[in-house]
Amino acid sequence: METESTQLKNEARRQRAYPTENLETRSLEKPKESHLNMVHFKFDCPHCQTRNSHFSGEENKINASKSFDSKPRGVVAEMPITCSSCKSISIGYFEGIERREMLQLLDTNQFQYQDLIFQLKTTIPKMPNPTCPEHTPKNVELAFIEAENALIARLYGSAASGYRKTIDRAITPLVDDGFKTKMLGQKLGNLQKSQSLPQTMIDWISIVKDNGNYALHDDDRDFVSEAEIMPARQFTLTLLQYLFTMPEEVKRARAAIDERKQAS
Ligand SMILES: [Zn+2]
């Protein structure tokens, strides 16, 4: 049985939980200016890649979601949201969830507005998800994805040394045994001698190497733009496709031809 003081406490809680006058409605009515409030929650930022970054949005900017035909399933509302780490703005897409109980605890990606809980489902732009060319060995893929993530996060120096590490790991199986633990420059010398890669590839590898060395050793000037990193990135990608993806594709294409021959 509820005592009088419990009832009073519950009423106070209800007042806090339902701060607007429109207790009965489900519509997303705009609060009056005097009720303007910020809402806060956590999510991964697609701009600076901070995981679980703090985000905020203005309650009066919540709109019923209608701007995109392809809006995610279950999404009812959208709102501009600002990342506290990089100050960039994204559009947040929210699902509206019925509150199960008055004092239901909220998850970190949720906030309450009127009598609904809003849960952030996705953002535009979306969180980038770097991928690696197919059939790349695990250790090479790891270095490549690390470099890609650094590039997305605008850590250009880390990206440059990451692509260098990627090509180093990618060519190591090609060099003679005595060179496998040597420096990248020595591995390149060995490859040149054995002619196991075309000269253009060797030249490009040495550019990615120098780019990475520059990021590691030269502190007079740093990489400041994506454009400075893109040639090394593009070549690293091409090298992985050439070394790991293409041989498998060739095998597959050859098998398909042989199958057709047998069938005829
Ligand atoms: Zn951010």
The pLDDT of 31-42, averaged and rounded, is 72
Is residue 208 domain-resident?
yes
The pLDDT of 211-237, averaged and rounded, is 85
Among 67-76, 108-117, 169-178, 193-202, whose mean pLDDT is lowest?
A: 67-76
Is residue 131 domain-resident?
no
Do 192 and 233 share a domain, yes or no? yes
Do 144 and 94 share a domain, yes or no? no
Do 40 and 76 share a domain, yes or no? yes
HSE on the CB side for 194, CA within 13 Å?
Answer: 14
The pLDDT of 251-257, averaged and rounded, is 94
pLDDT at 25: 45
Do 112 and 17 share a domain, yes or no? yes
The per-residue DSSP string of 43-74 comes to: E--TTT--TTEEEEEEGGG-EE--S-TTPPTT
**How many Å lie between the centroid of ligand 1 and the Cα of residue 124?**
13
Q: Which residues surround ligand 1, an ion (CB under 5 A)?
A: 45, 47-48, 83, 85-86
Is residue 132 domain-resident?
no
Do 142 and 258 share a domain, yes or no? yes
How far apart CA 40 and CA 111 sit, in angstroms, is 7
pLDDT at 20: 41
Do 79 and 188 share a domain, yes or no? no
Mean of pLDDT over the chain: 84
Do 71 and 186 share a domain, yes or no? no
**How many Å lie between the centroid of ligand 1 and the Cα of residue 159?**
19
Tokens of 208: 């990615």
Coil, helix or strand for 27? coil
> Is the predicted pLDDT of residue 98 greater than 60, yes or no?
yes
Do 254 and 145 share a domain, yes or no? yes
**How many Å lie between the centroid of ligand 1 and the Cα of residue 43?**
10
**Under 8 Å between Cβ of 164 and 209:** yes
In the block, tokens 């939980």 appear at 17
Is residue 133 domain-resident?
no
**Under 8 Å between Cβ of 81 and 147:** no
Q: Structural domain of residue 174, as residue ranges? A: 138-263
Do 233 and 152 share a domain, yes or no? yes
Closest Cα partner for 83 from 62, 63, 65, 57? 57
**How many Å lie between the centroid of ligand 1 and the Cα of residue 260?**
53
Percent with pLDDT over 70 in the chain = 81
Number of domains in the chain: 2
Do 150 and 60 share a domain, yes or no? no
Do 48 and 106 share a domain, yes or no? yes
What DSSP character marks residue 24? S
Confidence of residue 22 (pLDDT cuts 50, 70, 90): very low
**Under 8 Å between Cβ of 164 and 183:** no
